[in-house]
Chain A
């Protein structure tokens, strides 16, 4: 009896279920769909998404397929296909990215990970050496230095308390030590540009009252990207 009822249910749902996707409907991001499948969305987002899924065949199909084929078969990529992908990707050897991962511990800033050099007193030390010396905590502020092309960029993160920070970016030419001019520095969070400033006469920009979180600091001339700084400040 249960099977008959479920079979009838199946007929009804097939006939009157989610409609073909309209091109005008805006769909949730893949990230949202994944979080939904993995149970990571809050109640409000889940409820909103379910309302969409009840009318959208495309997203429904994607979710059902994700659940059906998870951990199915693994196929090796043919080498000639991999080569074609490698040729397609515009990758270059030199990196123009600096990553900085910090953690706030009271009035101290802990350097979790970075590829920059760190100013320790009057000494400039590679981050790897800091780890060897087991030095990680800096009171009130931490200064990091990184070379990009013919410039040196200094990044200072000041802990102003209550999880608020000032971020200072200063750019100078390596050879002459003169400040870089006409450089624009953008502070970006979640793909949204929060602030955008041209450097001052000293090659410096200060972003004040910055909160915890993940930021991208883009540095660029008018027509040329120079470098990106990925700055992640977390609470303890």
Chain B
């Protein structure tokens, strides 16, 4: 039975199908909640895992299974993959609501302190004033890239996604991903140098 038929059986309230659903997917969902929390280093949120788990299942079934009905299996998307993404999104939203309770000593994943780079030992430390100019110029160079190139940088450089994982997103071989990175960096360096910034 395909995933869509299976989901339809669950929506129709078939108990046997729900037993199978829990057997197949509850561990996946529970594990992903754990792994999102660990990936974001939100150790304080571990005690909330049971509540996230229950709330997520409730969100799937409430309003006459509205969320579960939104799964259509388009483009070969499997139920397992869909549930994985639903779990990640749900957990992120849940954690975001917890954020006001986060200690001020916790790392802000969005705020990046320039001072961390200017701290001693950083390769960029001595050129504080020129650094701001360099940042502004590099920003202008990045904006000259096309959307796909900019997103490549966002995922790999900013979000730390491995090149090996990027090949599926961009539908190319690993070699092509490496070449794409080299090409983008070369483009940016050329733009950077043309603006008079050297030494990097």
Interface residues in chain A, defined as those with a beta carbon under 8 Å from any beta carbon in chain B: 1-18, 20, 29-31, 33-41, 47, 50-51, 53-54, 57-58, 60-70, 72-78, 81-82, 84-86, 88-93, 95-97, 99, 101, 113, 190-191, 214, 216, 228, 230, 232
B123 touches A85 (CB 8 A): no
Q: Does B18 contact A (CB under 8 A)?
A: yes
Number of A-B residue pairs having CB atoms within 8 Å of each other in the complex:
228
Q: Does B94 contact A (CB under 8 A)?
A: no
Closest to A40 in B: B75
The minimal Cβ–Cβ distance linking A2 to chain B, given in whole angstroms, is 8
A13 touches B157 (CB 8 A): yes
Give the dominant DSSP class at A's interface.
Answer: helix
A66 touches B27 (CB 8 A): no
A84 touches B54 (CB 8 A): yes
Q: Does B48 contact A (CB under 8 A)?
A: no
Bound-state CA distance A163–B138 (Å) is 56
Closest to A38 in B: B168
Task: From known contacts A37-B168, A75-B34, A230-B4, infer whether A67 and B157 are also in contact, taking CB-CB under 8 Å.
Answer: no
Q: Does B183 contact A (CB under 8 A)?
A: no
Task: From known contacts A50-B148, A69-B32, A230-B5, infer whether A81 and B13 are also in contact, taking CB-CB under 8 Å.
Answer: no
B12 touches A96 (CB 8 A): yes
Closest to B172 in A: A39
Q: Does B89 contact A (CB under 8 A)?
A: yes
Sorted nearest first, the 10 A-B pairs with minimum C-beta distance are A14-B112, A64-B159, A13-B158, A30-B85, A69-B35, A91-B15, A91-B18, A39-B168, A72-B35, A40-B75
Q: Does B174 contact A (CB under 8 A)?
A: no
Q: Does B144 contact A (CB under 8 A)?
A: no
Residues of B within 8 A of A30 (CB): 82, 85-86, 89
B147 touches A51 (CB 8 A): yes
Closest to B164 in A: A67
Point out the residue from A14, A66, A92 that lies within 8 Å of B84, measured CB to CB: A66
Point out the residue from B30, B135, B159 that lies within 8 Å of A15, measured CB to CB: B135
A31 touches B161 (CB 8 A): no
Q: Does B160 contact A (CB under 8 A)?
A: yes
Offer 13 A-B interface pairs, CB within 8 angstroms, sorted by A: A5-B200, A7-B124, A9-B157, A20-B110, A31-B75, A34-B85, A40-B75, A40-B77, A60-B155, A68-B39, A76-B30, A88-B61, A92-B15
Residues of A within 8 A of B39 (CB): 65, 68-69, 72
Closest to A16 in B: B139
A62 touches B85 (CB 8 A): yes
Bound-state CA distance A109–B5 (Å) is 20
Q: Does B43 contact A (CB under 8 A)?
A: no
Bound-state CA distance A101–B11 (Å) is 19
A216 touches B8 (CB 8 A): yes
15 further interface pairs, Cβ-Cβ under 8 Å (given A7-B123, A31-B73) = A9-B138, A13-B142, A15-B139, A40-B77, A57-B110, A62-B85, A67-B155, A69-B32, A75-B30, A86-B22, A91-B15, A91-B18, A92-B15, A97-B9, A228-B8
Residues of A within 8 A of B53 (CB): 77, 81, 85
B26 touches A85 (CB 8 A): yes
Point out the residue from A5, A76, A93 that lies within 8 Å of B185, measured CB to CB: A5
